């Protein structure tokens, strides 16, 4: 927001260097750590170190020489417009902005930009984010929720930062796990179908648990049990073959049950406000991927060991000319000719590159699949896709329960829908206690926003690579470093503005009167404005590093500043009309910025809570 002033200063420092025979050094700009004022800071350590290295030093230790340079630059530079004063501290030179201009510029910018405050200029590059890849015929648990929230947030961040963004979902709708469910359903439950989208989806997941138990080798199993188990397994494999051969009956059964899962998935995506642009189904890339295997063999990238009873493999390290093992060797086609996860990912990447023309491709996938992803990208490179360089695996830590890893096979999972329902219950209880006057009709909607806010925030305020042990009491905590704390800041801002408009009979859509900050600002006003200023740069940083945490941490800091401001600074009670208007504008700017940052996290703040 102050690029012009920064350039101006930089220009003068370069002139100073030239005149004093000091090596020209790239300047590093930093925020000033603590101050009651805003400003930017530049350090001279590097310059002093370079000078010493060039043999031009004055024999002083670097920190002292740097401090000396800072002092000299300060005297050299003189006055700069919009900079109120300059201060040399240690080896740093601090430039403080003129308070009224700075405050006015920030607040006016936010209010003029509205929802787009913080967004970046178009980058002319298309990014695809692939996330929400649950298996069908299973149920959506909080591990899937982390994946989906992370992917959606990332998509929102890169989009806001200026990239054209495509959201892709890739459900695993085929494989032995899926067939297992269909087998058990067909054998034991055919014709049954519970009422309710979620009930039906969860019912399928329970069938999977039951089927797994029937098909698993048990300790101390009797001859009869063994025979029965083997017979079941043979039936299951037979079913898979019939699916593979396109048997219409099996396909019908598969499509019907798949739809039940997808209905549930789509309802959860609706709850999470996720709008997928492109659906890729694993089953759809199965056939095309076989042709890719042939192509890779023909081009001597893959090795066909089938004549010797083996599979089709790619010796990735060898083909890349690596001597140390890094990507190793992996199978891209089973000896029986069926495809694997890796095979299908190759086919999918081809579609992404050729049909959707993506410049960058982000895969939001569990960290445990890191090697698989690296192998995929390496093969894409061997295959000749230049975009392989711009594939990025966003590896996130897995979600487990206090009692251990989740297991869909054992039915030991925390279902997203159960957690969500529990969140609603808890929020409604808090509303009944804290805001009994809230109309019944509003409560459900508010509870949903707050419950989801708490849940999303608890997941997004942890860095990508960290594992999460999911504790429902922590996830649904509403105090302190949480989503509701931030939403509450928004609500408080809203309530001030609402009251003001009511007093003046001013409609919501009317702009606030123009205001000026030509009074002595309270420290809390200063800090709030400073927080608001940080937002646009942090959006770029978060998009560049693919890290929602940056935004999550930021919006907490912003809300924290607002709460402190709210407590310490009177707005509507202010006697001076011009101060009141200026503060109202600041409140509106803070509200807007909180909303914009929360939106990137997929969190909506209610108007009241």
Partner RNA sequence: GCCCUCGUAGCUCAAAGGACAGAGCAGCAGCCUUCUAAGCUGUUGGUUGUGGGUUCGAGUCCCGCCGAGGGCGCCA
Restricting to residues 109-128, name those near RNA by CB under 7 A: none
Site string (567-606) toward RNA, x via CB under 7 A? xxxxxxx---------------------------------
Q: Which span sits near RNA by CB under 7 A: 111-119, 142-150, 335-343, 408-416?
A: 335-343
Note whether 367 binds RNA by CB under 7 A: yes
Q: How far is the CB of 315 from RNA (least distance, A)?
A: 7
How big is the CA angle at 148 (ends 147 and 149), to the nearest 5 degrees? 95
Question: For 195, phi and psi rounded to 5 degrees?
Answer: -80, 145
Site for RNA in 402-431 (CB under 7 A): 405, 427, 430-431
* Binding of RNA by 322 (CB under 7 A): no
Q: 225 or 294, CB closer to RNA?
A: 294
- If one counts every other C-beta atom within 10 angstroms of the C-beta of residue 4, the result is 10
Minimum CB distance to RNA smaller for 162 or for 397: 397
Give me the 451-480 binding string for RNA, x by CB under 7 A, dash otherwise: ----------xxx-xxxxx----x--xxxx
> Which residue reads 């159960």 in tokens?
418
Site for RNA in 478-497 (CB under 7 A): 478-482, 484-485, 488, 491-492, 495-496
Q: Applying CB under 7 A, which of residues 75, 192, 370, 425 lies at the interface with RNA?
A: 370
Q: State in angstroms the smallest separation of the CB of 338 from RNA.
A: 7
Q: Where are the alpha helices (DSSP H) in 163-247?
A: 176-184, 197-215, 223-244
The stretch near RNA (CB under 7 A) out of 180-188, 288-296, 550-558, 590-598 is 550-558
Phi first, then psi: give them for residue 469, nearest 5 degrees: -95, 110
264 or 282: CB nearest RNA = 282
Number of residues located near RNA, criterion CB under 7 A:
100
Q: Which of 38, 45, 117, 131 binds RNA (CB under 7 A)?
A: 45
Mask for 198-237, x = binds RNA (CB under 7 A): ----------------------------------------
Looking at beta carbons only, is 18 or 371 nearer to RNA? 371
Binding mask 174-193 for RNA (x = CB under 7 A): -xxx----------------
What mask of x and - would describe binding to RNA in positions 47 to 86, judged by CB under 7 A?
--x--xx-------xxx--x--------------------
Rounded to whole angstroms, the Cα distance separating 104 from 533 reads: 12
* 8 A C-beta contact, residue 265 and residue 141: no
The CA distance from 518 to 27, in Å, is: 32
> And the tokens for 456?
């999303």
Q: Which of residues 268-287 bind RNA (CB under 7 A)?
A: 282
- Helix (H), strand (E) at residue 38: none
Q: How far apart are CA 443 and CA 437, in angstroms?
A: 10
* Length of the chain as a residue count: 609
Cα dihedral 55/61/65/67 (nearest 10): 160
Among 213, 226, 326, 504, binds RNA (CB under 7 A): 326
Q: Which residue from 58, 228, 357, 499 is in contact with RNA, where contact means CB under 7 A?
A: 499
Q: Which of 67, 77, 88, 74 is nearest to 11 (CA)?
A: 77
Indicate which single residue of 341, 356, 392, 519 sits in contact with RNA (rule: CB under 7 A): 341
Alpha carbons 560 and 556: distance in angstroms, whole number: 6
Minimum CB separation of residue 294 from RNA in Å reads: 16
Nearest C-alpha neighbor of 129 from the set 276, 305, 345:
276
Q: Which is nearer to RNA, 191 or 437 (CB)?
A: 437
Nearest CB to RNA, comparing residues 272 and 332: 332
* 3-class DSSP assignment, residue 138: coil
Nearer to RNA, 560 or 604 (CB): 560
- Closest CB to RNA among 165 and 179? 179
Distance CA 59, CA 531 (A): 41
Q: CA-CA distance, 93 to 80, in Å (whole number)?
A: 14
Count of beta carbons in the 10 Å neighbourhood of residue 541: 16
C-alpha atoms less than 13 angstroms from C-alpha of 454 in its C-beta half-sphere: 25
Query: What residues from 91 to 110 belong to the interface with RNA (CB under 7 A)?
Result: 91-92, 94
Residue 548, number of CB atoms within 10 A of its CB: 28
């Amino acid at each position: 927001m102050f690029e012009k002033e920064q350039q101006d200063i930089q220009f003068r420092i370069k002139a100073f260097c030239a005149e004093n025979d000091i090596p020209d050094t790239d300047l590093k700009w930093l925020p000033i750590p603590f101050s009651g004022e805003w400003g930017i800071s530049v350090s001279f350590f590097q310059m002093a170190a370079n000078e010493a290295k060039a043999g031009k030093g004055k024999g002083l230790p670097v920190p002292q020489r740097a401090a000396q340079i800072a002092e000299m630059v300060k005297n050299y530079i003189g006055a700069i417009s919009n900079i109120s004063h300059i201060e040399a501290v240690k080896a740093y030179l601090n430039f403080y902005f003129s308070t009224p201009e700075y405050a006015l510029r920030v607040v006016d910018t936010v209010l003029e930009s509205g929802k787009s405050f913080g967004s970046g200029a178009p980058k002319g590059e298309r990014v695809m984010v692939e996330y929400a890849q649950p298996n069908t015929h299973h149920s959506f648990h909080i591990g899937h929720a982390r994946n989906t929230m992370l992917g959606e947030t990332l998509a929102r961040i890169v989009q806001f930062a200026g990239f054209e963004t495509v959201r892709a979902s890739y459900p695993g709708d085929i494989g032995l796990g899926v067939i297992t469910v269909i087998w058990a359903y067909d054998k034991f439950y055919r014709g049954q179908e519970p009422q309710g989208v979620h009930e039906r989806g969860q019912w399928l997941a329970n069938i999977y648990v039951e089927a797994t138990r029937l098909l698993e080798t048990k300790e101390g199993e009797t001859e009869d049990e063994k025979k029965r188990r083997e017979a079941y397994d043979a039936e299951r494999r037979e079913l898979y073959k019939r699916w593979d051969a396109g048997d219409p009956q099996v396909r019908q059964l598969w499509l019907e049950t798949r739809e039940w899962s997808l209905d549930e998935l789509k309802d959860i995506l609706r709850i999470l406000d996720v709008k997928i642009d492109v659906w890729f189904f694993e089953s759809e890339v199965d056939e095309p991927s076989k042709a890719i295997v042939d192509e890779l063999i023909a081009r001597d990238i893959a090795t066909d060991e089938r004549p010797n009873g083996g599979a089709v493999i790619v010796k990735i390290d060898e083909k890349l000319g690596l001597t140390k093992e890094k990507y190793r060797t992996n199978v891209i086609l089973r000896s029986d000719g069926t495809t694997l996860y890796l095979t299908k990912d190759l086919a999918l990447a081809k579609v992404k590159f050729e049909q959707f023309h993506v410049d960058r491709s982000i895969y939001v996938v569990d960290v445990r699949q890191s090697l698989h992803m690296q192998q995929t990208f390496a093969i894409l490179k061997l295959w000749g896709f230049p975009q392989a360089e711009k594939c990025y695996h966003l590896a996130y830590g897995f979600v487990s329960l206090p009692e251990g890893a989740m297991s869909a096979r054992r039915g030991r999972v925390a279902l997203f829908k159960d957690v969500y329902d529990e969140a609603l219950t808890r929020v409604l209880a808090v509303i009944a206690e804290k805001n009994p006057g809230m109309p019944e009709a509003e409560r459900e909607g508010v509870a949903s926003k707050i419950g989801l806010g708490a849940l999303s925030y608890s997941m997004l305020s942890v860095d990508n690579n960290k594992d999460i042990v999911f504790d429902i009491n922590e996830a649904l905590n509403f105090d302190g470093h949480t989503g509701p704390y931030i939403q509450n800041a928004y609500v408080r801002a809203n309530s001030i503005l609402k009251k003001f408009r009511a007093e003046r009979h001013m409609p919501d859509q009317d702009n606030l009167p123009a205001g000026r900050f030509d009074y002595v600002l309270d420290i809390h006003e200063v800090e709030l404005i400073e927080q608001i200023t940080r937002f646009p740069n942090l959006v770029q940083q978060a998009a560049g590093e693919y890290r929602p945490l940056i935004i999550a941490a930021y919006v907490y800091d912003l809300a924290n500043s607002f709460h402190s401001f709210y407590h310490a600074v009177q707005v509507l009670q202010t006697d001076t009309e011009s101060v009141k208007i200026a503060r109202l504008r600041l409140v509106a700017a803070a509200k807007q910025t909180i909303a914009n940052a929360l939106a990137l996290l997929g969190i909506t703040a209610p108007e009241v809570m």
